[in-house]
Amino acid sequence: MLKTIIKRDGRTAEFHPQKIADAVEKSFQACAAMQDRATAEQIAATVVEKLESGAIEGTPTVEGVQDLVEETLAEPDVRRELTEQFLDEAGLENHRIREILQDYFAEMDDGALVDTMMAGVRKSDIRGFETGKLADYLSFRSDEYPFLIDPMPNLYFTRDPFATIGTGVSLHRMHTVTRNRETLFGKFIFQYHPVYKDAPKWYDRGETSSLEGGDILILSPEVLAVGISQRTEEDSIDKFAHTVLSISKTFKKILAFNIPKSRSFMHLDTVFTMVDRDKFTVHPNILSEITVYVMELVDGKVHIRESWIRHTQTVRHITAVPLAEIPGPVREWAGFPPVGEVLQTVTYHN
C-alpha cells in the first residue's frame, strides 16, 4: 500500500488518495465541467491502482501522479479520431500510403504523435514501413519532394487558429486550406479536454466563411474589435457577432474595422493593435480614412451603425487618453471619437 509521496519542493509527505480526487474536482469546478464528485473519486481510484501496480518506480512524485491523471483522462478513441481526421485533411488519397502512416503513427506515444503531425512527415521517416510494393519503395525514395505530409510552421502564430475571448473560445475556419489544418488541434482540445470541453464556442472551424484570430482584438470587457480583412469575411463576422452578443454576459458591442484587403495588411493586428489599456500601435496608411461598423444586439437582432472617420486625429485620439477616463460619448465608442466627429452615420439591421 502506497504511504508517501514526494512533493514539488522535494519534501516527502504522507500520501492521501483523497487529495487526488480533490484536485480533479477543483479542475472540474474551475472550468464549469459537468462532472460530479463521484467521477473525481473514480479517476483518483484508477490512479491509485496504477501506482500500486508499479506504474512509477519507488516513491512517486507529484509530477508523476499528475501524468497518470492525464493518462487516465485520455481516451484511445479520441486518438484514433484525431489520426483519421488528420490524414483526411492532409489530402492523402492513396489508401496504401494512408495505411502505412497509420502503422507509423501507432508506434508513437501521444506527445510524439502530436509533434510529428505538426512537424510533418518526410518520406525518409517511414522507410521500413513499406508494404513490399515496388510503387511504395520507389515513391518513398523519390527526391522530387521530401514530404508526404507538409509541416505546419504557422502554428507559431497560435492566436490565428483559435482565440480565447472572455470565458469562451473562437475556433476558426482559416482562409487557406493549408492553415485550416492547424485548427484541428484546437478542435480536439475544446471538444475532449476535461478542463476546456465545456467552454462556450463563439465560432467553429466547420463554418463556411473564414475568420482568423489576428482580426480579433479585445478592447475591454464589453467591447471587441474585428477586422474585415483579406482573411476574415463579412459573413463570418455576422455569425460571430450574433453568437457573442447573444450568449456572452459581458460583451455588448463589436467594432468591425474595414481594412484594405491585401497581404501587406492581412489582419487587423498588423495595422491596429492594443498594447496597453490606453495605448495602440497604428499603421500610418489607415490613419487618413477608416470605416468602422458598430454592431450591437437589439431585440435579438444585430443592429449596425456604419461610420466613416476621415481625419488623422480621430484614430490617434485613442492613443493619448485612457479608456476609463474618456467622457461619455467617446467611452461609448471604446475610445473612438464622439458622434460629432464622425462625418456620416448609417443605421440598418441585418
Beta bridge partners of residue 203, listed in sequence order:
170
C-alpha gyration radius of the chain: 25
pLDDT in tens, 293-323: 999 999 999 999 877 655 444 444 433 333 3
**pLDDT tens digit sequence for 179-235:** 899 998 888 888 887 778 888 999 999 999 999 999 999 988 889 999 999 999 999
CA 154 to chain centroid, in Å, comes to 13
Identify the structural domains of the chain with CATH numbers, from first to last.
4-73 (no CATH), 76-151 (1.10.3930.10), 156-349 (3.75.10.10)
User: pLDDT tens digits, the chain, 350 residues: what are they?
Assistant: 677 777 777 778 887 888 878 877 776 665 544 456 777 787 778 777 777 776 666 676 666 666 655 555 566 678 888 889 999 999 887 788 888 899 899 888 888 888 899 999 988 888 766 556 666 655 666 667 888 899 998 888 888 898 999 989 999 999 988 889 999 888 888 888 777 888 899 999 999 999 999 999 998 888 999 999 999 999 999 999 999 999 999 999 999 988 888 777 788 888 888 777 767 777 777 666 678 899 999 999 999 987 765 544 444 443 333 333 333 333 333 333 333 333 333 333 33
Would you state the pLDDT for residue 73? 54
Q: What pLDDT score does 13 carry?
A: 80
Q: How far apart are the first and last CA of the chain?
A: 66
pTM as predicted: 0.65
